[in-house]
Chain A
Amino acid sequence: MDQAFGRLVDGTELSLVQHWPVRRPRPVAERLPGDRPLVTGQRVFDLLFPVAEGGSVAVPGGFGTGKTVIEQSLAKFAAAQIVVYVGCGERGNEMAEVLTEFPRLTDPHTGRSVMDRTVLVVNTSNMPVAAREASVYLGITVAEFYRDMGYTVAVMADSLSRWAEALREIGARLQEMPGEEGYPTYLGNRMGKFYERSGRVVAQGRPERTGALTFISAISPPGGDFSEPVTQASLRVAGALWALDATLAHQRQFPAVDWETSYTLYADATAPWFADAAGKDWTHLRRDILELLQRERELREIAGLIGAEALQDADRLVLEAAAVVREAVLGQNAYDPNDAVSPLGKTYRLAFLARSLYESARDALRAGVPFEALDLGPARHTLVVARYAPPEELEAAFARVEAAIDALRAAGSEVTAEAPPSAREPPFAPEPLPVLESPPERRADA
């Protein structure tokens, strides 16, 4: 293929192979704002911390917090047309896992093997350090190449810290002046440069093609302490932070995303798309869930001082409801065949039902039902198991949750029939919801 098949008048040979220096970004015609999300199939990210196509995410976390599981889940299920997976200074067995598992998985968007859309760049921890430094650049350059063909590309780098350490080792051997924690002083600068290579762009040349390169990078901070240089340099340039927390991981609450520290700058830009694709009140739903979690955080601090039993009923309900949200909506088991990926419709429905559960119970409390008499059990149980239902049974599972929530609501109205109605708010009327719609459609130019 690298044989020349033609020659220009000036002597330049034409072939089917392109060579490109990996450290230099490939030029583009125009940079576009990112207003479409990269749908990840992970509820906590799609719902709370979405990333735009062409965006960049830093995923720091101590060892065993789930970075690799997240990167691999995204590589398998995210709505990208091409995935470049850079295993940079990590374990050989993880790469063996990718190599055995990916060919067997079907890409839900094309029906072909996931491996067909994947490029692997592998440099394990026991391989030469200089190659480790180059591997991330190589991955991004390959990704830019596909972006320029008009594809939606996602680059997963696991882990950027190993790249930075390679830079440090090489710097030390060249006897360069070390900066913070021994890293070369140009670390931040270099990192900024390749985070900048993400983006949604109009490619050079004809016909006009738009492509996107999304960059999602794991970071391995020493001691799990985010104040270190690599995490900090990433935060200066990344558009979203998915912070992983060791305590959550030890409790086996996966994905161990710390929703207080994590953030995204893409929520507003992508909101219209989500509202369109998943449900009209997506933005509200997201805000309500975030608020509930925030309220829980505050209450937990108080409860830690005075005991949960001493809280007011409304507050005890917040704790219960937030626990349901964490368990039924945000938690996602990467090893369960029905839970590993969550289509947007399922994410929306689960979140919606969790909120209904909370609101119905809250209304019942307001109507005068004592907390002790409130039977959350059936609603909680049906909701928590719904996420494991196989696709064909999902509707039935949701119907069971709705029935249980209706029962809660009925408990409230029974009391209200006797009590003054002023305490009541109208029950939340669920709008007709989209069921599992197929994943976002491919772009026409693909």
Chain B
Amino acid sequence: MKPLQRTYRGARAASGPLLYLEGARNVCLGEWVAIEVPGQPARRGQVIDAGERVTVIQVLEETLGLPPARAEVTLTGETATTVVGRELLGRAFTGTGSPADGLPGPVGEAIRPIWGAPMNPSRRQRPSDFIETGVSAIDGMNTLVRGQKLPVFSGSGLPGLELASQIVENARAPRGEAFAVIFVAIGITARETHAFLDRFERSGAMERSILYLNEARDPTIERLLAPRVALTQAEFLAFEAGMHVLVVMADITHYCEALREIATAREEIPGRRGYPGYMYTDLAGIFERAGIIAGREGSVTQIPILTMPDDDITHPIPDLTGYITEGQLVLSRDLHRRGVFPPLDVLPSLSRLMNAGIGPGKTAPEHREWANQLYAVYTRGREARTMVSIVGEAGLGESDRRALEFAERFEREFVDQGERRRSIEETLEVGWALLETLPREDLLRISDQVWEARRARREAP
């Protein structure tokens, strides 16, 4: 059945990206709109407010030069949907899902509304499969598991995207299961997109991937659609085609700014720093789409990347994200300046699902104790470093001095690994080697049992 189309001649007013239409009936929130002005290129829009008298339409294209009175506005009766299917693999699309690679639009296997439906919590399966990213600070200290949402908190000029592409390059499905990568560019520059894709192409993973590109020059409102279009496709691949899908989204900060821009245009009451009060709910609508459904094959894992404005982790964007996601990987400007790659600060970083993904049969039986111990000494070393900056090294006690030295080496030898990929065994080994520079009395988090087992293994030929 063809959806009901209604055309109205002349809109009431236009302001910023918004067009106000009067007298429209039976309008649907989220409905697509076509806007024609004689002699101008066609425009598209979406209903963002279906009031009793006035319908507010967010126009995707430039509104400069749009004469509202002469516009012919067609409500299409369609809400945002997208074509999904396996044949989309290997292709590139815009943020709304139109082809961006010059090829014809896909026929696909189904057409789906992009808003998704909340997964019933009782149908979720708890994620617990270890993903080896090859990055020690992640695999060892903040382990990623399938079905997790684990964002990268970057800062301007910090290599958030590089880290993400390194993860993607390494994080293949371990047992040769079907996997796919979806990359969503949200308001980033073409240069950033290329930097990401370059590396990606080199790894030959292109035919297992789909790109949804909304770059800085593309319409703002598409930034709000791009992640949803992409996740709709991800859900199809995961839960209907049985694939393990990794979704990388960059940059969530641009997404949130688009959200703010539109809220302002709608004259809503702004919340913290001008961002709308419903931003938590809105972001949750994206991030909660990661997961595994009991009884189905695949999984959706998300690695969103965001830029902390002014490196401020309490800014609403990282703050609300951290309240929704299952941990965060925090990049440090200090480590970056010192040439450490990836410049991951393990202290504020966290993987809440780590415990489910490590241990016997997954990584190593002693993984938890080993990580606890590294955290404990490194923390002590970092405190000692702060102390030194005030009172000088002479003020330190013996074990603080050892911890200080440890922290330096931890950053240089464990965190800093450049482009090299490390297996989980190598990661554990590097950590052990560092721990073993310390006397046993500094290592109280390691039980006698683990300590002895380690000794036995080392002394075995």
Among the listed B291, B375, B390, which residue makes an inter-chain contact with A304, where contact means beta carbons less than 8 Å apart? B390
A391 is an interface residue with CB less than 8 A from chain B: no
Interface of chain A, main secondary structure: helix
Say how far A230's CB is from chain B's closest CB, in angstroms.
13
Given contacts A92-B121, A93-B353, contact A385 B390 (CB under 8 A): no
Most buried by B among A87, A99, A380: A99
Contacting residues of chain A (234-293) with chain B, CB-CB under 8 angstroms: 246, 250-252
- Chain A neighbourhood of B118, CB < 8 A: 92, 124, 126-127
Q: How large is the interface on B (under 10, 10 to 19, 20 to 34, 35 or more residues)?
A: 35 or more
B284 touches A126 (CB 8 A): yes
CA separation between A303 and B376, bound complex, in Å? 20
Say how far B203's CB is from chain A's closest CB, in angstroms.
29
CA separation between A310 and B397, bound complex, in Å? 10
Contacting residues of chain A (117-143) with chain B, CB-CB under 8 angstroms: 122, 124-127, 129
- Chain A neighbourhood of B392, CB < 8 A: 307
Listed by A's residue number, 8 A-B pairs whose Cβ atoms lie within 8 Å are: A64-B327, A96-B125, A122-B122, A125-B284, A165-B281, A182-B271, A220-B323, A222-B316
Say how far A127's CB is from chain B's closest CB, in angstroms.
5
B189 is an interface residue with CB less than 8 A from chain A: no
Say how far B56's CB is from chain A's closest CB, in angstroms.
15
Given contacts A125-B288, A308-B395, contact A169 B281 (CB under 8 A): yes
CA separation between A172 and B347, bound complex, in Å? 38
A225 is an interface residue with CB less than 8 A from chain B: yes
CA separation between A169 and B278, bound complex, in Å? 7
A250 touches B348 (CB 8 A): yes
Q: 3 nearest interchain CB pairs? A: A307-B395, A125-B284, A223-B314
CA separation between A92 and B292, bound complex, in Å? 11
- Chain B neighbourhood of A418, CB < 8 A: none
A407 is an interface residue with CB less than 8 A from chain B: no
CA separation between A252 and B315, bound complex, in Å? 23
B269 is an interface residue with CB less than 8 A from chain A: yes
A381 is an interface residue with CB less than 8 A from chain B: yes
A385 touches B447 (CB 8 A): yes
B126 touches A124 (CB 8 A): no
Q: How large is the interface on A (under 10, 10 to 19, 20 to 34, 35 or more residues)?
A: 35 or more
Tally of A-B Cβ pairs under 8 angstroms: 143
A92 touches B314 (CB 8 A): no
B396 touches A309 (CB 8 A): yes
CA separation between A246 and B400, bound complex, in Å? 22
B269 touches A172 (CB 8 A): yes
- Chain B neighbourhood of A172, CB < 8 A: 268-269, 277
CA separation between A125 and B278, bound complex, in Å? 11
Say how far A168's CB is from chain B's closest CB, in angstroms.
5
B319 touches A223 (CB 8 A): yes
Q: Chain A residue with minimal CB distance to B119? A: A92
How would residues 94 to 125 of chain A score, 1 for a CB under 8 Å from any chain B CB and 0 otherwise?
01110110000000000000000000001011
- Chain B neighbourhood of A377, CB < 8 A: 441
A295 is an interface residue with CB less than 8 A from chain B: no
- Chain B neighbourhood of A327, CB < 8 A: 444
CA separation between A126 and B379, bound complex, in Å? 36
CA separation between A305 and B395, bound complex, in Å? 10
Most buried by B among A122, A252, A388: A252
CA separation between A305 and B314, bound complex, in Å? 28
- Chain A neighbourhood of B391, CB < 8 A: 304-307, 310
How would residues 372 to 406 of chain B score, 1 for a CB under 8 Å from any chain A CB and 0 otherwise?
10011001000000010011101111001000000
Q: Chain B residue with minimal CB distance to A334? A: B355
B127 is an interface residue with CB less than 8 A from chain A: yes
CA separation between A306 and B119, bound complex, in Å? 56
B324 is an interface residue with CB less than 8 A from chain A: yes
Contacting residues of chain A (64-97) with chain B, CB-CB under 8 angstroms: 64, 87, 89, 91-93, 95-97
A97 touches B126 (CB 8 A): yes
Q: Chain B residue with minimal CB distance to A92? A: B121
B43 is an interface residue with CB less than 8 A from chain A: no
Instruction: Give residues in A with beta carbon < 8 Å to B.
Output: 62-64, 87, 89, 91-93, 95-97, 99-100, 122, 124-127, 129, 162, 165, 168-169, 172, 178, 181-182, 220, 222-225, 246, 250-252, 303-310, 327, 333, 335, 377, 380-381, 384-385, 388
Contacting residues of chain B (309-324) with chain A, CB-CB under 8 angstroms: 314-316, 319-320, 322-324
Given contacts A97-B126, A252-B375, contact A182 B121 (CB under 8 A): no
A93 touches B127 (CB 8 A): yes
- Chain B neighbourhood of A162, CB < 8 A: 280
- Chain A neighbourhood of B289, CB < 8 A: 126
CA separation between A249 and B272, bound complex, in Å? 25
Say how far B211's CB is from chain A's closest CB, in angstroms.
25
Given contacts A63-B322, A125-B284, contact A381 B397 (CB under 8 A): no
A165 touches B284 (CB 8 A): no
- Chain B neighbourhood of A384, CB < 8 A: 444
Most buried by A among B280, B320, B394, B441: B280
CA separation between A305 and B387, bound complex, in Å? 9
- Chain A neighbourhood of B444, CB < 8 A: 327, 380-381, 384-385
A222 touches B400 (CB 8 A): no
A125 touches B281 (CB 8 A): yes
Among the listed B147, B322, B375, which residue makes an inter-chain contact with A251, where contact means beta carbons less than 8 Å apart? B375
B277 touches A169 (CB 8 A): yes
How would residues 342 to 384 of chain B score, 1 for a CB under 8 Å from any chain A CB and 0 otherwise?
0000011010110100000000000010001001100100000
How would residues 269 to 289 of chain B score, 1 for a CB under 8 Å from any chain A CB and 0 otherwise?
101100001101100110011
CA separation between A129 and B291, bound complex, in Å? 21
CA separation between A446 and B390, bound complex, in Å? 59
B326 touches A93 (CB 8 A): yes
Given contacts A91-B288, A92-B288, A181-B272, contact A224 B121 (CB under 8 A): no
Q: Chain B residue with minimal CB distance to A377? A: B441
Q: Chain A residue with minimal CB distance to B395? A: A307
Q: Chain A residue with minimal CB distance to B375? A: A252
Say how far A257's CB is from chain B's closest CB, in angstroms.
17
Say how far B321's CB is from chain A's closest CB, in angstroms.
8
B194 is an interface residue with CB less than 8 A from chain A: no
B124 is an interface residue with CB less than 8 A from chain A: yes
Given contacts A95-B124, A122-B121, A172-B269, contact A304 B387 (CB under 8 A): yes
